Amino acid sequence: MTYICMTSKTTSSFISFRIIAFVWLIWAIIGLVHGTSRYTDIVRYNLNASFTGSDFALYVISYSFWVLITLALLILLKRMHYPFSSTKLAICCVFGLILWLPVYFAVDYGISTIIAGGTVDAYWARLSGMSGSVVFFYVIIYLLTFAACLGAVLMRNTANIKQANLALERKQHETALLLAVQKMQMMQSQLSPHFLFNCLGAISGLARQGDKDTLVEAVAKVGNLLRFTINNATENWISLDEEIGFCDDYLSLQHLRYPNRFKYTANIELNDLHLCCPPFTLQPLLENIFRHVVDTTSQTVDITLKIQDQQNTIAITVCNSLFESSQQVHKSGTGIENLQSRLVHLYSSNHQFVITSNEQQYCVCLTLPKEAINGDV
């Protein structure tokens, strides 16, 4: 079973307004917690410092700037090829740290200086006198932010992969179910009661004539047809040799019904008859001829089967002669429609099914990829 490694979701669908609001809410809460902690320390240790509502607002505004780097990291990590390279992750982390912290400190100290009514000199003095513990604290904050963003992207990627694989499994199950239904329809359409009734009538005629050898052969071929139909109804692939043998038995029984109404010629140009094809690939093409031509005319119908090896493909052509009485009624029946549908599900677009006709001849040309015929589909 095939699984999808990664799905292609756009960044806009990942970074939505809801995500932005959620990220801002998280950082606002962190700012309030930090501000509350600062106020608690002032009260507990009787520090000679004031802490008003504007200070709380300053903490919230200061941490709100971390929304920018959070969203930038989410977008950057989302755009990176999954699975992530540890080297690229390290470069991304260090590069973001070098770019972000100077910008953050410059903006944060600038806002606090403006609120305090300080001058440009005071701003530069605060910025240059920043302690190493403050830098270390915000480095830790950045690393935790990077880790949280990476975890969020990994969770989203994992969810996308799981969803895509479930969708693929569901599609495969639906395809398998559809093929099973088609095979049942195909099995029901093969060897119809009308055909078997006529064959049994021909067999009873042989019995009355006392032609024991032909009678035994005919009964054996009916058994072969029934056995083939039952055994291969659930198979996706059989050998071309088996399919051709099934068609030979089918034509032999048709000959009992129409001993002088058709002439069959097979031209098999293959080095390996053990190449595979879907079961009931050739027989519906032949059955279509008997239903719409042989049954409708009293003249001898020429039927030819040609199978050729064409480099990477196998070309199958089934042709029959047409007559005025059969031209208007010769069309694709249920067996042909089922065959076309099965081939689409088995080969997708890697095959050709072409029908050509004129006043004298009707042909069905089927081209199957050799790699698929060998069972690699």
User: What is the tens place of the pLDDT at every residue in 226-279?
Assistant: 888 778 767 778 888 889 998 998 898 888 878 889 999 999 988 777 788 888
Long-range contacts of 22-31, Cβ-Cβ distance < 8 Å, separation of 24 or more: 23/67, 23/70, 23/71, 24/64, 24/67, 27/63, 27/64, 27/66, 27/67, 27/70, 28/60, 28/63, 28/64, 30/63, 30/66, 31/59, 31/60, 31/61, 31/62, 31/63, 31/64
User: What is the tens place of the pLDDT at every residue in 7-33?
Assistant: 344 444 567 888 899 999 999 999 999
Work out the percent of the chain whose per-residue pLDDT is above 70: 85
pTM: 0.51
Instruction: Tell me the pLDDT band of 333, cut-offs 50, 70 and 90.
Output: low
Check if the beta carbon of residue 366 is closer than 8 Å to that of residue 316: yes
Q: Tabulate helix, strand, coil % of the chain (nearest 5).
A: 65, 10, 25
Distance CA 6, CA 15 (A): 18
Q: Which residue has the tokens 């930090």?
A: 34
User: What is the tens place of the pLDDT at every residue in 106-115?
Assistant: 998 888 888 7
Domain segments of the chain as ranges: 11-172, 190-376
pLDDT at res. 54: 83
Q: In terms of pLDDT, which residue wins out, 369 or 207? A: 369
Is domain 190-376 in CATH 3.10.105.10, yes or no? no
User: What is the tens place of the pLDDT at every residue in 216-228?
Assistant: 888 888 888 888 8
Instruction: Tell me the pLDDT band of 198, cut-offs 50, 70 and 90.
Output: low
Check if the beta carbon of residue 293 is closer than 8 Å to that of residue 326: yes
